[in-house]
Structure 1
Amino acid sequence: MDVTLGKSATIKRVYNNNVLLATEADSTEVVLLGKGIGFQRRPGETVDTSLADQRFVDEGLYLAPQLADLLSEASSDHIAVAQTITELGHAALGLEPRQSLMIPVLDHLTFAVRRAQEGTHIDFPLRWEVAQLYPAEAALGRQVVALVNDSLGVQLQDDEWVAFALHFVNQQWTKGDFSKTVAMTETISRVFLRLAERWGWPIDENASSAARFVTHLRYVFARAASDKQLQTSRLDVLSAVQLAYPEAAEAALDIAALIGDAINRVITKDEISYLALHTTRLYVEMTEHQ
Structure 2
Amino acid sequence: MKIRQILNNNVALVERGKIDVIVVSKGISFKKKVGDSIQMDEVEKVFVPDSNDVLENYSYLLSHAEQGTLDATFKIITYAEEHIEEKVNDYLYLTLLDHIDYAIKRAEKSQFIISPLAWEVRKFYPHHYEIGKQAVRIMSEETGIEFPESEAVAIALHFINLQESQVDVKDAIKAMETVNDILTIIRIHFQMQFDEGSMNYNRLVTHLQYFAQRINLGEIYNSEDSELNKQVRIMYPQAYICVNKIRVYLMDRFDKELSKDEETYLMLHIHRVTQRNESEE
| TM-score scaled by length of structure 2 | 0.55
3-state SS, counterpart of residue 134 of structure 2? helix
Aligned length: 185
Which one of the candidate residues 131, 136, 141 is aligned to 2:127? 136
3-state SS, counterpart of residue 63 of structure 1? helix
Structure with greater Cα Rg:
1
Which one of the candidate residues 175, 191, 213 is aligned to 1:187? 213
Q: Which has the higher contact order (CA 8 A, sep 6+)?
A: 2
Whether contact under 8 Å (1:95, 1:172) holds in the other structure is: no
Which one of the candidate residues 42, 48, 58 is aligned to 1:51? 42
One-letter identity of the residue aligned with 2:153:
V
Runs of 4+ in 1 over 3 A off after TM superposition: 40-51, 59-62, 176-182, 188-193
RMSD: 3.3
Change (3 A) 1:122 1:89: same
Residue 65 (str. 1) matches residue 56 (str. 2): yes
Q: Deviations over 1:89-133 (max 9, x none)?
A: 122222314433322212111111222123223452222233333
Q: Which residue of 2 aligns with 1:16?
A: 8
Change (3 A) 1:189 1:91: farther
Residue 116 (str. 1) matches residue 107 (str. 2): yes
3-state SS, counterpart of residue 36 of structure 1? coil
Whether contact under 8 Å (1:34, 1:52) holds in the other structure is: yes
Change (3 A) 1:68 1:132: same
Q: Which residue of 2 aligns with 1:244?
A: none
Residue pairs, 1:272-283, within 5 angstroms? none
Q: Which residue of 2 aligns with 1:36?
A: 27
Change (3 A) 1:120 1:60: farther
CA shift for structure 1 position 158? 3.4
Change (3 A) 1:48 1:139: closer
Q: Which residue of 1 aligns with 2:256?
A: none
Q: Tell me which moved more, 81-90 or 120-129.
A: 120-129
Q: Percent identity?
A: 26
Which one of the candidate residues 71, 74, 79 is aligned to 1:88? 79
Whether contact under 8 Å (1:32, 1:49) holds in the other structure is: no
One-letter identity of the residue aligned with 1:14:
I
Question: How far, CA to CA, are the matches of 1:62 and 1:92 in structure 2?
Answer: 32
| TM-score scaled by length of structure 1 | 0.53
Q: Deviations over 1:22-80 (max 9, x none)?
A: 23331x22111123332343334554444322211115797223222222222222212
Whether contact under 8 Å (2:69, 2:142) holds in the other structure is: no
| Unpaired stretches in structure 2, ≥5 consecutive residues | 166-198, 220-281
3-state SS, counterpart of residue 15 of structure 2? strand
Q: Deviations over 1:223-274 (max 9, x none)?
A: xxxxxxxxxxxxxxxxxxxxxxxxxxxxxxxxxxxxxxxxxxxxxxxxxxxx
CA shift for structure 1 position 185? 7.0
Residue 167 (str. 1) matches residue 125 (str. 2): no
Question: How far, CA to CA, are the matches of 1:171 and 1:30 in structure 2?
Answer: 23
One-letter identity of the residue aligned with 2:112:
H
Q: Tell me which moved more, 80-89 or 96-105.
A: 96-105
Question: How far, CA to CA, are the matches of 1:39 and 1:106 in structure 2?
Answer: 22
